[in-house]
């Protein structure tokens, strides 16, 4: 439809409000309380425009553009004198109580309030009286609180409470002293609290970890990157100055993380600056262990010529590095650094996804689902942003239903909330020990993995009676199955979420069966399988056997093992890992951080972290995403693993004048070698890419201090950093000054829009897709007319064994990935490791909360935590926390009281 803004015609989408239409048309209209993900409430009164009845109407009426829907032919005036004066006045009111502290404020330079104030033209303060002041609260190590800066837009509460489901942040008091905070000082409980820093348009909530090494946005060197802390692969922008990674902020991606990140992703970056980094090549057992690169390469060329060379790939290293390792050691000697169980389960998932009978669900698909079944996966802890998406599915379905009733537009948040009250869309959360999303689920089941799978198969049977029914099932289970099946049958876009949490293949199979049974001729049901690490899927697609399989080969002795960015002690039980190392005569490890595995290495090679590297990763849904170097570390020895591996390949093949493969050459080679990866190079901006012959600068054009930053070290201005080979990005502020391609924008900025909200200028419409063609590199393709091959082997009902327990991992939301726990702020929030037992089992063993028990096989004694709804016969043991032991997950263990 056409709308007229200041008498000019613009195309607008139906169902949007006027503010969205104006922003989509590229018009600068100030706003505060509206947010593309939160909708409108009309609280701030900043977005006023005039609406005219018709062409002849010159008077018009003042409306809040965020509260008025677009109508065909509607005429609005943004530049109208009254509207402008009104907007300027609103800002002036807000400013009466806003402190004059931009210089001190962390938000300064990327502040929506600053931008909007300048946009309205309010530039001089007339209010010279006392300002209202508040006491600030301690909100934990992640978020800083400075309440005086608040402009009462209510975004924080609407985000934290309504959107993310947190219940410990709210609005208090009344009049002109409303207060946004907790009822008392304390750590914010939601693992999505970091988004407050971006949602709040002012400096009330800011990133506390950034405070430790504060840098303005304009002083950061930034690059588009991808979170490496779980298999969701949220898009991030990371910033560096003086060789230290300073912060991580959200990088909008419509299909993946939208406007948000979880706290693990946002605050888990500090391991890059850790003192525990490997910075020097080391050869152990020498007089001086730190060696030069020549000595290292010399030593390596001897080691690499050994007969029994094996390579251990990594689920947290890039596709390029894994592939380079595979090429170096040979496909037959390349193993995945994960347990056999995990390898088996991921292979099963890959097989299911590659069949193409199901659609691989993105987070956006999950958010838009009208029924979600979480089958056995502890999403909250293993893929936090997916849990947030599941929550949105439940909330939005209810909202859509309500909106349809009264034909309310989707953006009308306040009205819809009023109508919805506590209604939720259908969510069945079936887990071993419950999860925080239980409270929005219609069906919650806590059961052991086999029974979860049985419930899944029962649902599949209800959906399609060609599938086998459960033998001797109890009535309660069947009833639940019928309830879930009924809800699924009514839904139009159901999504089934599952994964590895249960360490049980039947659960994965059951999830497939449910989804496949829902398929019909019009659409494919969607499924999402959560994996443990950021590139688990990429590694799985390489089809390498697990590290445990090395023992199968008869001459697995005196091996020379090359271990890529992997702490084997995190994936294998200690005894297995020890056994592995005892069979190695030489261990070469490439890693960024010292850990138990690097301790065992005779040769240790410093690898770059995500911030210092280029690379591609495949997320849980098969989406390949590329991340770019933010900076080149000052410790000149740190290099991307694939660089090291390429040099080794040259050294090994004695190609004296051979040159290393560049990134895109490596990817092309991978695509030829392994056709599953076809097209992955599209995920990255070609290194030869330039705009009018210019790089995309990683630094904003206001970057300061260039001639002074390192002047204390050397007065001559330093040569700007230069990557080996070509790159689309430059390390300085020079280069292309216009808007870079949205998916490869090192940071979001637009004239007059300094804060992250400038992303609107890169989108076709607020909250929509990016402008321009963005290649989505999906490695799983929906295949039409492919009949699913159902799984029919249903496991027996679980029977608790005598004196034996089924052991399962219990991850923590801030630390299921390996690297985030090396971050100080997050580490301080991690709980103590414990063993969770059912009430009956605890009584049986004669233990109470806090008593120590020992698990066999295993070495450490752990405190007990009694769980009221956990099934008997299962123990959950904390996993992924620093120093926690790895058990044979999904196996049987003995327990003994200390």
* Contacts to ligand SF4 by CB under 6 A: 103, 150-156, 180, 200-202, 204, 227, 229-230, 232-234, 257, 261-262, 264-265, 383-385
* 656 contacts: CB under 8 Å, gap ≥ 6: none
Secondary structure (DSSP) of 100-149: S-TTT-TTTTS-HHHHHHHHHT-------SPPP--------SSEEE-GGG
Angle at 160 (CA atoms; ends 158, 166), nearest 5 degrees: 125
Question: Which is nearer to ligand SF4, 87 or 446 (by Cβ)?
Answer: 87
Please tell me whether residue 706 binds another protein under the rule CB under 8 A. yes
Partner in contact with 43, chosen from ligand SF4, ligand FES, another protein, none, beta carbon below 5 to 8 Å by kind: ligand FES
d(CA 737, CA 728): 14
State in angstroms the smallest separation of the CB of 595 from ligand SF4. 19
Please tell me whether residue 86 binds ligand FES under the rule CB under 6 A. no
Question: Which is nearer to ligand FES, 87 or 629 (by Cβ)?
Answer: 87
State in angstroms the smallest separation of the CB of 152 from ligand FES. 10
State in angstroms the smallest separation of the CB of 708 from another protein. 4
Partner in contact with 47, chosen from ligand SF4, another protein, ligand FES, none, beta carbon below 5 to 8 Å by kind: ligand FES
Please tell me whether residue 103 binds another protein under the rule CB under 8 A. yes
Among 61, 702, 737, 856, which residue interacts with another protein (rule: CB under 8 A)? 702
Q: Are 730 and 768 in contact (CB under 8 A)?
A: no
* 860 contacts: CB under 8 Å, gap ≥ 6: 854, 885
Question: Which is nearer to ligand FES, 201 or 265 (by Cβ)?
Answer: 201
Kindly list the distances between the CA atom of residue 597 and the CA atoms of 549, 752, 771, in Å, as whole numbers in the listed order.
Answer: 18, 50, 45
State in angstroms the smallest separation of the CB of 4 from ligand SF4. 32
Please tell me whether residue 211 binds another protein under the rule CB under 8 A. yes
Q: Please, which of residues 24-83 interact with ligand FES by CB under 6 A?
A: 31-34, 42-47, 64, 66
Secondary structure (DSSP) of 255-322: TTTBT---HHHHHTTGGGG-TTB--S-EETTSSS-B--HHHHHHHHHHHHTSS-EEEEE-TTS-HHHH
Question: Which is nearer to another protein, 242 or 689 (by Cβ)?
Answer: 242
CB atoms within 10 A of CB 148: 18
Question: Which is nearer to ligand SF4, 154 or 529 (by Cβ)?
Answer: 154
Question: Which is nearer to ligand SF4, 378 or 513 (by Cβ)?
Answer: 378
Q: Are 686 and 728 in contact (CB under 8 A)?
A: yes
Give the HSE-up count for residue 808: Cα atoms under 13 Å, Cβ half-sphere.
26
Partner in contact with 218, chosen from ligand FES, another protein, ligand SF4, none, beta carbon below 5 to 8 Å by kind: another protein
Please tell me whether residue 393 binds ligand FES under the rule CB under 6 A. no
Give the HSE-up count for residue 687: Cα atoms under 13 Å, Cβ half-sphere.
16
Question: Which is nearer to ligand FES, 31 or 805 (by Cβ)?
Answer: 31
Partner in contact with 31, chosen from ligand SF4, another protein, ligand FES, none, beta carbon below 5 to 8 Å by kind: ligand FES
User: Three-state DSSP class for 773?
Assistant: coil
Question: Which is nearer to another protein, 102 or 419 (by Cβ)?
Answer: 102
* 195 contacts: CB under 8 Å, gap ≥ 6: 159, 164, 250, 259, 260, 261, 266
Partner in contact with 702, chosen from ligand FES, ligand SF4, another protein, none, beta carbon below 5 to 8 Å by kind: another protein
Question: Which is nearer to ligand SF4, 268 or 660 (by Cβ)?
Answer: 268
State the greatest distance between any 2 C-alpha atoms of the chain, in Å, as a whole number: 91
State in angstroms the smallest separation of the CB of 315 from ligand SF4. 14
CB atoms within 10 A of CB 15: 12
Partner in contact with 262, chosen from ligand SF4, ligand FES, another protein, none, beta carbon below 5 to 8 Å by kind: ligand SF4
By rule CB under 8 A, what string of x and - marks binding of each residue 220-259 to another protein? ----------------------x-----------------
Partner in contact with 151, chosen from another protein, ligand SF4, ligand FES, none, beta carbon below 5 to 8 Å by kind: ligand SF4
In whole angstroms, what separates CA 580 from the centre of its chain?
Answer: 32
* 212 contacts: CB under 8 Å, gap ≥ 6: none
Of the candidate spans 304-312, 519-527, 706-714, 783-791, the one that interacts with another protein by CB under 8 A turns out to be 706-714
Partner in contact with 202, chosen from ligand SF4, another protein, ligand FES, none, beta carbon below 5 to 8 Å by kind: ligand SF4
Partner in contact with 261, chosen from ligand SF4, ligand FES, another protein, none, beta carbon below 5 to 8 Å by kind: ligand SF4
Among 27, 63, 102, 774, which residue interacts with another protein (rule: CB under 8 A)? 102
State in angstroms the smallest separation of the CB of 418 from ligand FES. 17
Q: Are 406 and 351 in contact (CB under 8 A)?
A: no
DSSP-derived letter for residue 186 is: -
Question: Which is nearer to another protein, 148 or 357 (by Cβ)?
Answer: 148
Segment 611-614 long-range contacts (CB within 8 Å, at least 24 positions apart): 611/225, 611/238, 611/240, 611/245, 611/269, 611/272, 612/272, 612/638, 612/640, 613/318, 613/640, 613/641, 614/318, 614/320, 614/640, 614/663, 614/684, 614/727
Among 709, 744, 844, 845, which residue interacts with another protein (rule: CB under 8 A)? 709
State in angstroms the smallest separation of the CB of 283 from ligand SF4. 35
Among 81, 715, 784, 868, which residue interacts with another protein (rule: CB under 8 A)? 715
Among 14, 85, 104, 799, which residue interacts with another protein (rule: CB under 8 A)? 104
Q: Are 205 and 156 in contact (CB under 8 A)?
A: yes
* 613 contacts: CB under 8 Å, gap ≥ 6: 318, 627, 629, 640, 641
Kindly list the distances between the CA atom of residue 401 and the CA atoms of 58, 319, 424, 441, 523, in Å, as whole numbers in the listed order.
Answer: 39, 43, 10, 17, 21
Q: What is the CA radius of gyration of the chain?
A: 28
Give the HSE-up count for residue 650: Cα atoms under 13 Å, Cβ half-sphere.
13
d(CA 836, CA 816): 17
User: Three-state DSSP class for 410?
Assistant: coil
Question: Which is nearer to ligand SF4, 23 or 385 (by Cβ)?
Answer: 385
Question: Which is nearer to ligand SF4, 217 or 229 (by Cβ)?
Answer: 229
Question: Which is nearer to ligand FES, 44 or 372 (by Cβ)?
Answer: 44
User: Three-state DSSP class for 652?
Assistant: helix
Question: Which is nearer to another protein, 122 or 316 (by Cβ)?
Answer: 122
Question: Which is nearer to ligand SF4, 316 or 629 (by Cβ)?
Answer: 316
State in angstroms the smallest separation of the CB of 242 from another protein. 7
Of the candidate spans 196-204, 442-450, 705-713, 857-865, the one that interacts with another protein by CB under 8 A turns out to be 705-713
Partner in contact with 649, chosen from another protein, ligand FES, ligand SF4, none, beta carbon below 5 to 8 Å by kind: none
Q: Are 876 and 886 in contact (CB under 8 A)?
A: no
d(CA 181, CA 185): 9
DSSP-derived letter for residue 85 is: H
Of the candidate spans 119-127, 213-221, 225-233, 325-333, the one that interacts with another protein by CB under 8 A turns out to be 213-221
Question: Which is nearer to another protein, 422 or 714 (by Cβ)?
Answer: 714
Partner in contact with 44, chosen from another protein, ligand FES, ligand SF4, none, beta carbon below 5 to 8 Å by kind: ligand FES
- Omega before 731 within 30 of 0, i.e. cis: no
Question: Which is nearer to ligand FES, 40 or 609 (by Cβ)?
Answer: 40
State in angstroms the smallest separation of the CB of 664 from ligand SF4. 25
Query: Which residues contribute to the site for ligand FES (CB under 6 A)?
Result: 19, 31-34, 42-47, 64, 66
Query: Which residues contribute to the site for another protein (CB under 8 A)?
Result: 102-104, 108-109, 211-216, 218-219, 242, 702, 704-709, 711-712, 715
């Amino acid at each position: 439809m056409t709308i007229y803004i200041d008498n000019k015609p613009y195309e607008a989408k139906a169902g949007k409000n006027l503010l969205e239409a104006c922003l989509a048309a590229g018009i600068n209209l100030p706003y505060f309380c509206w947010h593309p993900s939160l909708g409108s409430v009309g609280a701030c009164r900043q977005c006023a425009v005039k609406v005219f009845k018709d062409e002849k109407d010159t008077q018009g009426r003042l409306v809040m553009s965020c509260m008025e829907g677009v109508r065909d032919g509607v005429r609005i005036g943004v530049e109208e004198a009254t509207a402008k004066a009104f907007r300027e006045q609103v800002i002036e009111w807000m400013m009466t109580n806003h402190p004059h502290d931009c210089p001190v404020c962390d938000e300064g330079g990327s502040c929506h309030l600053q931008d909007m104030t300048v946009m309205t033209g309010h530039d001089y303060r007339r209010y010279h009286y006392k300002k209202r002041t508040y006491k600030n609260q301690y909100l934990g190590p992640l978020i800083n609180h400075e309440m005086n800066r608040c402009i009462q837009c209510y975004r924080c509460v609407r985000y934290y409470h309504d959107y993310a489901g947190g219940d410990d942040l709210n609005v208090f008091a009344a009049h002109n002293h409303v207060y946004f905070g907790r009822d008392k000082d304390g750590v914010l409980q939601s693992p999505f609290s970091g988004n407050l820093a971006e949602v709040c348009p002012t400096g009330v909530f800011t990133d506390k970890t950034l405070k430790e090494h504060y840098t303005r946005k304009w002083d950061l060197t930034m690059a588009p990157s991808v979170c490496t802390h779980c298999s969701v692969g949220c898009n991030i922008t990371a910033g560096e100055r003086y060789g230290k990674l300073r912060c991580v902020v959200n990088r909008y991606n419509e299909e993946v993380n939208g406007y948000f990140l979880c706290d693990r992703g946002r605050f888990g970056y500090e391991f890059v600056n850790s003192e525990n980094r490997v910075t020097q090549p080391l050869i152990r057992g020498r007089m001086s262990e730190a060696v030069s690169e020549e000595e290292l390469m010399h030593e390596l060329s001897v080691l690499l010529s050994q007969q029994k060379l094996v390579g251990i790939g990594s689920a947290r290293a890039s596709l390029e590095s894994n592939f380079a390792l595979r090429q170096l050691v040979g496909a037959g000697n390349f193993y995945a650094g994960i347990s056999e169980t995990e390898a088996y389960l991921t292979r099963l998932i890959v097989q299911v996804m590659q069949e193409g009978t199901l659609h691989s669900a993105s987070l956006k698909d999950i958010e838009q689902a009208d029924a979600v079944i979480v089958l056995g996966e502890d999403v909250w802890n293993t893929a936090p942003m997916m849990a947030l998406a599941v929550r949105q599915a439940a909330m939005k379905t209810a909202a859509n239903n309500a909106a349809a009733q009264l034909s309310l537009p989707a953006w009308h948040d306040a009205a819809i909330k009023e109508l919805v009250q506590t209604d939720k869309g259908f969510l069945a959360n079936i887990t071993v020990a419950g999860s925080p999303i239980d409270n929005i689920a219609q069906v919650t089941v806590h059961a052991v993995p086999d029974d979860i799978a049985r419930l899944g198969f029962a649902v599949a049977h209800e959906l399609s009676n060609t599938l086998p029914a459960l033998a001797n099932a109890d009535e309660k289970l069947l009833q639940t199955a019928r309830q879930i099946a009924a809800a699924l049958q009514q839904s139009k876009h159901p999504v089934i979420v599952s994964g590895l949490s249960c360490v049980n293949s039947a659960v994965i199979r059951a999830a497939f069966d449910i989804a496949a049974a829902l398929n019909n001729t019009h659409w494919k049901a969607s499924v999402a399988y959560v994996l443990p690490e950021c590139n688990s899927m990429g590694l799985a697609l390489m089809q390498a056997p697990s590290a445990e399989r090395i023992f199968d080969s008869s001459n697995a002795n005196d091996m020379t093992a090359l271990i890529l960015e992997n702490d084997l002690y995190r994936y294998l039980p200690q005894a297995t890992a020890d056994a592995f190392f005892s069979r190695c005569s030489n261990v070469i490890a490439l890693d960024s951080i010292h850990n138990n595995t690097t301790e065992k290495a005779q040769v240790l090679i410093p690898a770059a972290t995500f911030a210092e590297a280029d690379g591609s990763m495949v997320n849980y849904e098969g989406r390949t995403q590329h991340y770019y170097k933010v900076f080149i570390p000052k410790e000149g020895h740190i290099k991307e693993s694939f660089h090291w591996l390429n040099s080794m390949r040259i050294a090994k093949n004695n190609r004296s004048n051979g040159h290393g493969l560049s990134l895109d050459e490596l990817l092309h080679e991978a695509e030829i070698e392994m056709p599953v990866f076809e097209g992955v190079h599209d995920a990255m901006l070609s290194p030869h890419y330039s705009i009018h012959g210019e790089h995309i600068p990683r630094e904003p054009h206001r970057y300061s201090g260039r001639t002074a930053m390192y002047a204390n070290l050397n007065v001559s201005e330093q040569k700007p950093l230069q990557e080996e080979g070509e790159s689309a990005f430059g390390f300085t502020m020079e280069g292309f000054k216009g808007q870079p391609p949205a998916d490869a924008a090192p940071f979001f900025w637009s004239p007059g829009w300094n804060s992250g909200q400038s992303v609107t200028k890169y989108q076709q419409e607020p909250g929509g897709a990016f402008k321009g063609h963005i290649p989505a590199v999906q490695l799983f393709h929906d295949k039409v007319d492919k009949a699913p091959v159902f799984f029919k082997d249903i496991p027996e009902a679980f029977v608790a064994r005598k004196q034996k327990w089924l052991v399962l991992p219990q991850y923590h939301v801030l630390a299921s990935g390996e690297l985030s726990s090396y971050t100080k702020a997050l580490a301080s929030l991690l709980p103590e490791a414990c063993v969770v037992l059912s009430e009956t089992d605890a009584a049986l063993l004669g233990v109470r909360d806090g008593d120590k028990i020992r698990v066999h096989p295993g070495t450490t004694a752990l405190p007990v935590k009694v769980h009221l709804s956990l099934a008997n016969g299962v123990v959950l043991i904390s996993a992924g926390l620093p120093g926690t032991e790895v058990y044979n997950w999904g196996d049987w263990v003995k327990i003994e009281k200390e």
